[in-house]
Chains A and B, each alone.
Chain A
Amino acid sequence: MTVADIVKALDLKVLSGAGGLNREVSGGYVSDLLSDVMGKADAGQVWVTLQTHKNVMAIASLKDLAAVILVSGYQPAENTAQQSEEENIPILGTDMSAFEVTGELYTLIRK
């Protein structure tokens, strides 16, 4: 499953980093604590969060995550979006809360 498949299935908005839509997805990780993601997320996971600042992309890049989903209508900070473009790691947006979009993502990945 690719990031593009998830975008389509969950009706997500591609906010930045469209160049990375063909990345393969291995699973999901839900956290708003950056040190936790740094320590525990695995490569290829889609990261669900409401954190919007630049450090999000630094971590996504270091951990080689597939994409970031910003929940509850949050928008990436300008420099966050810019780094997403540079790293080709998509930032996806949704109005769904973390619980809902995670529920949908879990269901989709476990199908």
Chain B
Amino acid sequence: MEHHEFNIEGGDFSRAGYASSQVKKILKQMGVDVGIIKRTVVAAYEGEVNVVAHAYSGAMYVDINRDEVQIELRDEGPGIEDIEQAMQEGYSTASSAVREMGFGAGMGLSNMKKNADELHIESEPGKGTKVVIRMLLNTTTGD
């Protein structure tokens, strides 16, 4: 059982992806299948970018054991009013600045859903959002 924590700074696009990059290095070192690593870090990275794009501050909590990786993103921010609507591809509340950064086209959450074996989102508008990405290590399904 391994546990890692990374802080994520809201609005700091130059650092966005640092936490996901560390996750990638850890999984690579463990010898996890490259396909699973890719799905894991793409989901984690989209989640990390969401925190940077929308929240004031947040953190990524990573728990790894023999069978699974669990990545929890928790942030303090505006939260999501309607999660179902937010999951729709193309729906976005991102600022034009975020769009000019190469994100914010409303693909992030659906990308996370496509790549994660399990995805849970809880949000309290005005307070923040919690996203849990669960990846199974001993299977190649979920794609």
Residues from 90 to 125 in B contacting A, C-beta threshold 8 Å? 90, 96, 99-100, 102, 105
Contact B96 A34 (CB under 8 A): yes
B100 touches A51 (CB 8 A): no
Q: How many A-B residue pairs have CB under 8 A?
A: 13
Q: How far is the CB of B114 from chain A (nearest CB, A)?
A: 15
**Residue pair A35, B100 in contact (C-beta under 8 Å):** yes
A81 at the binding interface (Cβ < 8 Å)? no
The reply to whether the CB of A41 lies closer than 8 angstroms to some CB of chain B is no
Which chain B residues in 64-93 approach chain A with CB under 8 Å?
90
B70 vs chain A, min Cβ distance (A): 32
Do B100 and A33 have beta carbons less than 8 Å apart?
yes
Check: A77 CB closer than 8 A to any chain B CB: yes
Known: A50-B105, A51-B105. A34 touches B100 (CB 8 A): yes
| A52–B90 touching, CB < 8 Å | yes
In the bound complex, CA of A77 to CA of B99 (Å): 16
Q: Which residues of B contact A (CB under 8 A)?
A: 90, 96, 99-100, 102, 105
